[in-house]
Structure 1
Amino acid sequence: MFTPRPVPRFFLPLALFIVALAAFWPGVYGGFLFDDYHNIVTNAFVQIKELSATSLWKASKGYSDNTRQLAMVSFALNAYWAGIHPWAYKVTGLLVHAVNAVLVYWLALRLLAFSSRIQAGHRPMAALALAMVWALHPIQVSSALYVVQRMETLCFTFLFIALLLYLRIRNQQITGEPVNQWLWSGLVLSFVLAALFKESAVLLPLFCLALEATVLGFAGSSGQRRFWRISYGAGSALALLAFVFWAVPHYSSLEPYGGRDFNTVERLLTQGRVLWLYMQQMLLPLPKSIYFYYDDMAVSRGWLQPLTTLPAIVGLVLLFALAVYWRKRFTLAALGILWFFAAHFITSNVIGLEMVFEHRNYFALLGILLLVAELVSRLPVRDGPAIKYVGVAVLVLGVGFLGAVRAATWGNPILLATDMTSKNPNSARAAMDMGVAYFELSDGDANSPFYHFAARQFERASALQGASTLPDVNLILMNGAAGFPDDLVDIEAVWQRYLQRLRALHLSVETRDSVWSLLQQRLNARDIDDDRLQQAMAIIIERQEQPDYRHAMMADYLLMHLGQQEQAEAHYRLAISKAREGGNQQLIERIAAELAASGYPKLASELTGLTMAPENIFLNRLKPDSTLLQQLNQGGN
C-alpha cells in the first residue's frame, strides 16, 4: 500500500502560504471597490497624516457605532504608509488570507484525526489539499482582495486560533492531561481580538457547540461531561431568550428596513434561496456563477414567490436535520454542515443586511469542504486509493486555476468591470463600475471616447431595475466637471430623474449620501445647478432628520456660496444645538473658526459663544477633499 514519505513539519504550511500568495498576487494591482470608498478612501478618521496614539485612537472610532476598532486601525496604518494607493491595502489583505490558509491547514489536520478512514500518515497531505482548496477557491477572491473585507478575514484569523486552542484544551481534558491555563487565557484573548475586528466573533460559541455535538461528543470525565453539557445547555437557552426577546424585536420589521426594499419576513424567505446559491458556488465554482454584485437578486415576497422559495427552505431544514441525526456516524460531514449554518447565523437572519455577499462564506466554505472530505474518504475504490489521490490533486489544481484566473481579473479594473457586467448585465452596480472604469481611462477629458462610454454606461445603469441615485449623480458631476456634447446627455432630464428618485426610493446609504456628495462637490467649486441642489437638500431634509455636521455643511453652502445669511443661521443654530446634545464640541469649534476665517467673527461669537482667531480651515467637516473619480466610485452599505 502506498505510504507518503514524511516531510519536515513546517514544509507544508510554508508551501501553502507561498502558493496562496502567488495564486492571488496578480489581483493586488486592482483598485478600490464599492464599500471601500466610504469606509476607507473618504473616511477622515482612517486617512491619518501622523502616526500617534491620538490619531490611531480616532481611527478606531471610524466605523459606525464605534465598532470594528482594530480593523479601522489597520486601515489607518495602511493610509499613513501608503495614502490611498490600493496596492498596499490589498497586499495586506492577501497576507492575512495566506496566514489564515495556514491556520486552516492546522485546524484541518486536527479535525481529520477524528476520521478513522483517513490514516495518520495521509492526514498532512489531506489537510494540505483541504486548506489549498479553501485558500484558492474563486469565492475567496473577494474576501482576500476586496479591501474592506479585511474586517472579516482578520476576525477569522483570531477565531481560527481560538478554535485551535479550544481543541487543544479539550484534547488535554479528554486524555486526562492537566490543562495549561495559558490556553484558556489565549482562547479568551483571541475571542476579544476577533470581536474588535468584526461582530462575527460572537459565532465562536456556535462553532464550539458544533464541535462538541459531532467530533468531540462532550467527551471527558463524568464531571467534565456534566460541566460541558450544562454549560452549553444553559448558554443555548440564554442565547435563545436573547434572540427572541432582544434581537427579534430590535432588528425585525414588518415594514421595509431603512434603506431596503424588503422586510424581515421577505429577507428570511429569500435567505433560503441565497444559502443554496452559496452552496452551489462552493461545490461548482463556475466562473459564470460568481460575479461579486448580486443587487438584482429577486426578493421572495411569499412562500411561492418565486416558486423555488419553499423547496429551498424545506431543503435546508432537511439538511440540518440530517446533520443532527447523523452527527455520531458521519462526524466530519455533520460538523461541516453545522458550521455552514453557524457561519450564516447572523448574516442570514433578522438583521436588515444586504441579501447576498460572497465574503460571508469565508468560514462557511471550510464547513462544506469538511463535508466533501467525509464523502471522499468513504468513496469505495477497487484498485486501491491511488485514484482518490489523483482525483483530489485534479480538484486542487482545477480550483486553484479558477481562483488564480479570477484573481488576475481583479487586478485590472477595466477587465473586472467588463467581467462583472457580462456575467450580470442586470446589475446596476456592475454597470456603475463599468462607467467608472471608462471615466478613469478618459482621465476626465470630455473629448475622449472613453468619457462618452462612461456617460452611456451611467445612463444604462440608471435605466436598470433597482438602480439607485448614483448613476444620475455621476452624470451631474461629470457635467459639472467638463460638460457634455448636446447630443450625449440631456442633463435637465437627468436632474428631473434624480429628484424624482430622491423622493420615491427607500433611503439607502447610496440615496441619502448622494445629496451630500453633490453638496460637497459644490463646496469644492464644482459647477452644479444651485436651484436643483437646493431642491435635493429640501427633499432629503423633509424625508429624514439629519445629523449636526450635515446642517453645518448646508449652512456653509447657504452663507458662503449663496449669501443667504438668514437661512444659513438657522442651520448653524440647528447644527450647534445637535452638536451640544451629542457632545460634539469639536464641530462647534470648527464652525466658529471657519466663520471667523471667512470674515464673520461676530456671527461666530453670537452662534457659538466662542471667540476664535481666524484659521485657514476649509469647509469640509468630515471627509478629506474627494476627487471626482473617488466620488464616482462611492459605494453603499
Structure 2
Amino acid sequence: MANLFVLLGLIGYVVGRRRMLAASILTPSPARRERLALDRFSPESRGFTLCLLSITVPTAVGLLAKETAVMLPLYALLVEWMLFHFRTSTDRRDWRIIGSFLFVLVLPMVIGLGWLLPSLLKPATWATRDFTMGMRLLSETRVIVDYIRWTLLPTLNALSFYHDDFRVSTGLLSPWGTLACLAFLVALVALMLWLRTRQPLAALGIALFLGCQLLTGTVLPLELIYEHRNYFASFGLLLTIMPLLAVSRPLSFARSRQVLLGGLLLCWATLTALTAYAWGSPLRLAENLASRAPQSPRAQYELGRTYIIYSKYDPSSPFTQLAYAPLERSAALPNSSILPEQALIFMNSRMHLALKDTWWDSLITKLKAHAPGVQDESSLGALTQCARDEQCDLPKQRMVDAYHAALSHPNPSSRLLAMYGDYAWNVLGNRTLGEQMTVEAMRNGPNEPAYRITLIRMMVAQGQRVEADEQLRELEQLNIGGRLDSDMANLKKLFGAQ
C-alpha cells in the first residue's frame, strides 16, 4: 500500500513538471511570461503546486501504511535529476524546484540524522546484534549485490526468507567478496552516470534501486538480510533492463536481447508459480523453505515450529515426532540462536514429556558464548511466560542458570533485565530480585513506560505507597499525547484498591 502512494506521488510529480515546462514553452513573450510567473494561478504555478503536493501528501498518507513511503521525496529528486535536470524550458536553473527539495528532503533528513545518530553511535544499540555499524556497512555491499542477482537471476535456493547463514564482513578482505562487491557498486554508479544522458530511464532505474537501499541498507541496526523492503528497488532494476532488452530490430544485437528478455520472463514466471504453490499451505511453505536453505538455522527452526503447530501439542500426533529432527538440526548449525532449544523445551514441557539435559546444556552454553540477540531474548521471554502461566513445568535452576548466562555479558538490554525481573517475581517468588531487575531495566530504558508501570505495580503490591506515587509522577511525564491514559487510569484504580 505504501508503494502505491509512492507511485502515485511520482506520477503526480512528473505530470506537474511537464505542465511547468509546457506552460513556459507556450508563453508568447517575456513580458507575458513574467506576468504569469507572478500569478500564482497560472498554468506554471499550478504545475509547481502539483509537484509540491505530490511529494508531500502521498508521503504523509503512505507513512500510515509503511515507513518506506518516507523515500518518496528522494525518488522524486532522482527523477528530477535524471529527467528534468532542475531546469526550466529556457534551460535556466529552476530555484523553486531546488528550494522545494531543500525544504521537503534535505532539511528533514538532517534533522532525522541529528536525532538518530547519537543513539546509533552507542554500543548498547548494537548489543543485540552480532555485528557493529562498521561491519554492517561492509556486509551490506555484498547484500545489495546479492539482491541484484536474486532479483534478475533468481534461483530456488536464493528465494528464501532466511539467510542467517550469511557470513558477516569484518574487513574489506574478510571475506574477499566485500572488496569485489564494493568495486562492483562503484562501477554501477559510474555506469549510471554514463547512461544518464544516453539512456536516462536505465540510469533512473539504477538510481532508484541504490536510493532504496539508503533506508534499510546502511546504518539502521536491522537484520543484514530480509528487512530491506526491496519492492520499489525491484521496480528500479526492471526499469534499467527493460529499455536495454526490449528494443526494435534495427538496433545492434536486437534479436539476442529479445531472446534474453524472453528467457528472463519465462524464468520469473516459473519461479513465481512454484513459490505461489508453496505459499498455498503453511506446512508446504515451511518444508519448501527448509529445503531451499538447508544451512539456515532459522529455516530449519521454522519447519520444526510448523510441525509443533500442526501437532496441537498432542504427543500422539505424527507431527510431534517430525518436529524433533529439524529443531535439533537447527540447534547444531553454526551461529544458531537458542530458538530451537527453546522450542524443544517448550514443546516437551507443554506435553509433559521428558526434557533432555543436552537441550538445556546447549541453550546455556550459547548464552555464555555470546551476548544474547533479539531471538535469544524472545526465546527466554517465551519460556518465562509459559512458566508464569503454569503451562510449562520448567526446572527453576536451569532457568536461573540461563538468565545468569545471558546477563553475564556487558550492557545487558532493558528487555532482558525486565524479563528476569518478571521471572523472579512471578515464578521464583523472589520479590526483592524482581524489583531490583525491574529498576535496572527502567534505568537502562528510561523512556520505555512499560518498565515503570511494572515497577509501580510491584511497589503497590509491597505497600511502598510513597515510592509508587513518585514513580507515577515520573510516568506522567511520559504520557505524551495521552498515549498512557488507559495505563494511568488502571494504576490509579490500583492505588485506590490498596
Normalising by structure 2, what TM-score? 0.77
Find the aligned partners of 2:116 and 2:193 in 1 and give their Cα distance.
25
Find the aligned partners of 2:352 and 2:53 in 1 and give their Cα distance.
62
Matched with 2:482 is: none
Q: Report the CA distance shift for 1:300/1:589 in structure 2 as closer, same or farther (over 3 A).
A: closer
Question: Deviation digits for residues 444-484 of structure 1, max 9, x if unmatched?
Answer: 22233421221222111111011001111111112211244
Matched with 1:67 is: none
Contact 1:495 1:532 in 2 (8 A): yes
Q: Does 1:613 align with 2:497?
A: yes
Find the aligned partners of 2:125 and 2:170 in 1 and give their Cα distance.
12
Q: Report the CA distance shift for 1:559/1:257 in structure 2 as closer, same or farther (over 3 A).
A: closer
Question: Partner amino acid for 1:157?
Answer: L
Runs of 5+ in structure 2 lacking a partner? 24-42, 470-493
Structure 2 counterparts to residues 133-532 of structure 1, below 5 A? 154-176=1-23, 177-178=43-44, 179=46, 181=49, 184-222=52-90, 225-229=94-98, 250-251=119-120, 257-357=126-226, 360-378=229-247, 380-381=249-250, 396=265, 398-484=267-353, 491-525=356-390, 526-532=392-398
Find the aligned partners of 2:148 and 2:299 in 1 and give their Cα distance.
23
Q: CA deviation at 1:511?
A: 1.4
Find the aligned partners of 1:450 and 1:410 in 2 and give their Cα distance.
20
Contact 1:203 1:343 in 2 (8 A): yes
Find the aligned partners of 2:188 and 2:17 in 1 and give their Cα distance.
28
Question: Partner amino acid for 1:185?
Answer: L
Q: Report the CA distance shift for 1:243/1:402 in structure 2 as closer, same or farther (over 3 A).
A: same
Question: Deviation digits for residues 331-372 of structure 1, max 9, x if unmatched?
Answer: 111111111110111222122321112753211111111111
Q: Report the CA distance shift for 1:572/1:162 in structure 2 as closer, same or farther (over 3 A).
A: closer
Structure 2 counterparts to residues 8-157 of structure 1, below 5 A? 154-157=1-4
Contact 1:254 1:265 in 2 (8 A): no
Find the aligned partners of 2:443 and 2:170 in 1 and give their Cα distance.
43
Q: CA deviation at 1:250?
A: 4.8
Helix, strand or coil for the counterpart of 1:506?
coil
Q: Report the CA distance shift for 1:247/1:608 in structure 2 as closer, same or farther (over 3 A).
A: closer
Contact 1:515 1:540 in 2 (8 A): no
Find the aligned partners of 1:278 and 1:577 in 2 and give their Cα distance.
40
Question: Partner amino acid for 1:443?
Answer: K
Contact 1:573 1:607 in 2 (8 A): no
Matched with 2:484 is: none
Structure 2 counterparts to residues 526-545 of structure 1, below 5 A? 526-541=392-407, 543=409, 544=411
Find the aligned partners of 2:361 and 2:21 in 1 and give their Cα distance.
70
Structure with greater Cα Rg: 2
Question: Partner amino acid for 2:173?
Answer: L
Find the aligned partners of 1:549 and 1:497 in 2 and give their Cα distance.
19
Find the aligned partners of 2:72 and 2:98 in 1 and give their Cα distance.
17
Helix, strand or coil for the counterpart of 2:386?
helix
Helix, strand or coil for the counterpart of 1:363?
helix
Find the aligned partners of 2:171 and 2:14 in 1 and give their Cα distance.
43
Matched with 1:136 is: none
Q: CA deviation at 1:509?
A: 0.9
Contact 1:592 1:611 in 2 (8 A): no
Question: Partner amino acid for 1:493?
Answer: T
Runs of 5+ in structure 1 lacking a partner? 1-153, 596-601, 615-637
Q: CA deviation at 1:425?
A: 0.8
Question: Deviation digits for residues 61-80 of structure 1, max 9, x if unmatched?
Answer: xxxxxxxxxxxxxxxxxxxx
Question: Partner amino acid for 1:503?
Answer: K
Q: Report the CA distance shift for 1:351/1:562 in structure 2 as closer, same or farther (over 3 A).
A: closer
Find the aligned partners of 1:449 and 1:173 in 2 and give their Cα distance.
68
Find the aligned partners of 1:572 and 1:267 in 2 and give their Cα distance.
32
Helix, strand or coil for the counterpart of 2:136?
helix
Give the root-mean-square deviation of aligned CA atoms: 3.9
Q: CA deviation at 1:496?
A: 2.0
Normalising by structure 1, what TM-score? 0.62
Q: Report the CA distance shift for 1:272/1:253 in structure 2 as closer, same or farther (over 3 A).
A: farther
Question: Deviation digits for residues 191-224 of structure 1, max 9, x if unmatched?
Answer: 1123344443332232122212222233424566
Find the aligned partners of 2:441 and 2:136 in 1 and give their Cα distance.
36
Higher relative contact order (CA 8 A, sep 6+): 1
Helix, strand or coil for the counterpart of 1:346?
helix
